[in-house]
Structure 1
């Protein structure tokens, strides 16, 4: 099995390190000091008291790696359209592309059936770059749960979690998704194959949609947002609007909004990824986490007043911080 991890940062590095240790032929696409360190001394993964190092191929340009069985894209959603052309040498006739990316995936309406079958989402795939350049038939969905960080160049630290839920857009349990799940399990992860992965995407999206923007606007942790009566109410209103959209699209929610909020509160004094990006001057994942929900609301004819208000504030916050 040949797997290329495109974006070997925190999550990509975690996947690449464990898969390589388990015997998979792994190649990594990285850049800058992180890439230089991997080439010089390997990629190290630290998890609690455990630490190990692997020595996979690593490059900024994957052209020399050749066609893969799987390409795992572990970038921020807004970065993916810009690398589609560079992905092409990795794509053989049967290559599957695993989108380990937060938010609404660009393939969402592929193999969903009904009147929205094949609908494109301009907010996450402007110009249909991914739809045409990767192809929805290659896509395997992935919901990412671990929290990890690049502690220093060449060293990834696992903070918490070990689950990557996988699923075909069609919901079928195909040979390719089964083989991938088996490889993940052999590498030390939990990798359930979900027949209704979109349901799980929405439950995670609830938190990303609400807590990420609120944290960027207030600089507060999850614990603080959930403890404050006002911000908790804003998050709840945003989630309820998203819930109505999801239900209209056929989503089944395994938990209710209040339980989802309590789950976030239990995480404690954690800074969301969007707040961390803001503090580091990086572009924010606004479109995949927020704009896409607004777009889907319009598709099904449902208003999103709370989401619209927070989105407007977030976009201005991003521009004034140089993170648009």
Structure 2
């Protein structure tokens, strides 16, 4: 299969190496130091056990036109980075191209083929101008939930931390030939890629934790186990999750695990820094709109009060702006 991955970061690099080593015709759409490193040395993946794999047979370019039309396009950027590439994605897309979205949070396409009174509604928080829906063909999108954790430790080098599961699903819940073919491709590369008949339910299950633990960790500089074992933040997390569950239920989503079990699962992860905390420490823009702001928006659409989520959203938005205005980073350091 001819596959282009936009972005060769933690997830894009991990997925790309595995697909390339499985024999797929893979192109990374990437810029800067990553582009130079991949062109010179291929893309390297370091697994949990220390074994190293190098995909030297991949192509890397910063030109969408040069890459040309693909069988599959994987959007491996963060949600707030999609707008910057939306105008170019069409150069990779033909009438039969599938597009797999690997963003966390509520996706821009959420209400497409959703049914009901909200069918086709634009999610303003993640696509305020309608650019994404207008430029990235929604009818060609396959939903995906990303469970693995990995990190880009140097240009062209990704370290896998844990996980290998990428559930996939058509937006209308059908089990199509194309989603089956993509699932088979992922499975052949060593991933677990079940085809789900309700990808939105899986999105909410992951989001349930992300919308809660990410902002709390970014604001407190604490890890998952710290948040879960400190009574006040554990209670805050439970309140935020309860608000989110009410919204999801009104949208027809039922969670297959209990709230307490979801918190316990986060606690078991241990001393793990969430992606939002890592962004704050590195001085990068966070995914707060897709992870938290979108849920606030859906709360308004469903007439659901979200006081705890609203508060966390306001605080992280201000932190994001302060980091950007000061061109700085916020990190705990040992006192002298």
Q: What TM-score, normalized by structure 1, do the two folds share?
A: 0.98
Q: How far, CA to CA, are the matches of 1:214 and 1:97 in structure 2?
A: 32
Equivalent position of 1:15 in the other structure: 15
For 2:41 and 2:318, locate their aligned partners in 1 and report how far apart those are by CA, in whole Å: 42
Distance in 1 (CA, whole Å) between partners of 2:22 and 2:315 is 46
Secondary structure of 1:274's partner?
A: helix
1:235 has 2:247 as partner: no
Pairing partner for 2:101 from 90, 99, 102:
99
- 2-structure distance, mates of 1:84, 1:160: 30
Task: Name 2:153's counterpart in structure 1.
Answer: 151
Contact conserved, 2:173 with 2:197, CA < 8 A, in 1? yes
Is this contact kept in 2: 1:105–1:288, CA < 8 A? yes
Q: Distance in 2 between matches of 1:321 and 1:233?
A: 28
Could you say which residue in structure 1 is the equivalent of 2:59? 57
Q: What's the offset of the Cα at 1:287?
A: 0.7
**Local SS of the residue matching 2:285:** coil
Aligned to 2:44: 44
CA contact (8 A) 2:8 2:156 kept: no
Correspondence for 1:123? 125
Distance 2:42 2:32 in 1: 14
Q: CA deviation at 1:77?
A: 0.4
Per-residue CA deviations over 1:244-290 (Å, capped at 9, x if unaligned) read: 00000000110111110000000000000000000000001111001
| 1:57-101 deviations in Å (ceiling 9; x for gaps) | 101222201111110001110000110111121011111111011
Distance 1:197 1:174 in 2: 14
1:169 equivalent to 2:171? Answer yes
Pairing 1:5–2:2 present: no
Which blocks of at least 5 consecutive residues in structure 1 are unaligned? Answer: none
Structure 1 runs (4+) greater than 3 angstroms displaced: none
TM superposition shift of 1:135: 2.0
Q: Which deviates the most, 100-109 or 56-65?
A: 56-65
Inter-partner Cα distance in structure 2 for 1:82 and 1:37 = 22
Q: For residue 41 of structure 1, report the CA deviation from its aligned partner.
A: 0.9
Per the alignment, residue 314 of structure 1 pairs with 316
Give the 3-state SS of the residue equivalent to 2:130 in structure 1: helix
Distance, in Å, in 1 between the alignment partners of 2:84 and 2:33 is 21
CA distance in 1, matches of 2:69, 2:323: 40
Query: What secondary structure, in the 3-state scheme, does the structure 2 residue paired with 1:309 have?
Result: helix
Structure 2 distance, partners of 1:190, 1:44, is: 21
Partner in structure 2 of residue 279 of structure 1: 281
SS of alignment partner, residue 164 of structure 1:
coil
**How far apart, CA to CA, are the structure 2 residues paired with 1:316 and 1:123?**
16
**Deviation for aligned residue 1:52:** 1.5
Deviation at 1:50, TM superposition (A): 2.3
User: How far apart, in 2, do the equivalents of 1:61 and 1:237 lie?
Assistant: 46
Q: Which residue of 2 aligns with 1:179?
A: 181
Give the total of aligned pairs.
324
Where 2:173 maps in the other structure, the secondary structure is coil
Question: For 1:201-252, what per-residue CA distance to the aligned partner results, in whole angstroms no more than 9, with x for missing partners?
Answer: 1110011101000011000001101111111111110100000000000001
RMSD of aligned Cα (Å): 1.1
Distance 2:17 2:233 in 1: 38
